[in-house]
Amino acid sequence: IYLLVGMKDFAGKKVLVTAGGTREAIDPVRFISNRSTGKMGYAIAEAARDRGAEVTLISGPTTLEAPRDVRKIEVESADEMFEAVKQEYLQADVVIKAAAVADYKPVVVTRQKIKKGPDSISLELTRNPDILEFLGQNKGDRILVGFAAETENLMENAQKKLKKKNLDLIVANDLTLEGAGFGVDTNVVKLLFADGRVIPLEKMPKRQVADIILDTILTLK
Ligand code: CTP
Ligand code: CA
């Protein structure tokens, strides 16, 4: 029985995971988004559930099924994700921000569908709140894990985000590698810790990456 149910080493822990990309509305029928599919975040939510955690998953729109026994909160925009996170983070022992949050949103969302007209038009964008930075500023006793999606200067950029957002751990994702990043079932990441340690992982299924992230969290504090 013990082998079948596995290790419940997250029993009694509350884990908040964000996953998927956000959508930033332009008009009633259009939005700006990114290539995130939610697979990494959902894999983390499932792994944490399997290990006995009480899991809340705040998810942007994805085609993935809600994992059973996970409380799922669906959001669309970065602003909505921020609101949901503010509602939930105080109850969490661990927050893992796997979501690909849009950095910018349109300044104006038109009420009517934009009609085509001139040969060229432009869209003015404004910054979204940085949810993870907010969490870092209001961290308390929580363990805070972020992701870094990079196409260049992986270590340097990830290091900066780790520091700026006051994280315990950042999962650095080199989007130029085959079998890494958005849309695929595998990932190739490096784990960077607040104390300067770096653990590079080989290419492996996202579920396995998820379990290693959880193993690592248990070694912190
Ligand atoms: N993040 C967030 N809120 C945002 C933007 C990002 O919470 N508005 C989180 C992501 O969920 C991720 C981490 O911050 O865990 C890093 O996201 P990333 O896009 O790699 O970095 P940014 O800080 O947004 O910097 P840039 O896009 O300029 O590289
Ligand atoms: Ca970003």
* ipTM at complex level: 0.99
Is 34 one of the catalytic residues? yes
Q: Which residues are near ligand 1 (CB < 6 Å)?
A: 78, 97, 99, 101, 103, 128, 130-132, 146-149, 161
CB 121 within 8 A of CB 107: no
103 belongs to an annotated ligand binding site: yes
Cα separation, 114 vs 140, whole angstroms: 45
Cα separation, 185 vs 97, whole angstroms: 18
Calculate the average pLDDT of the chain: 96
pTM exceeds 0.95, yes or no: yes
pLDDT digits (tens, 9 = 90+) for 9-65: 999 999 999 999 999 999 999 999 999 999 999 999 999 999 999 999 999 999 999
Ligand nearest to the CA of 130: 1
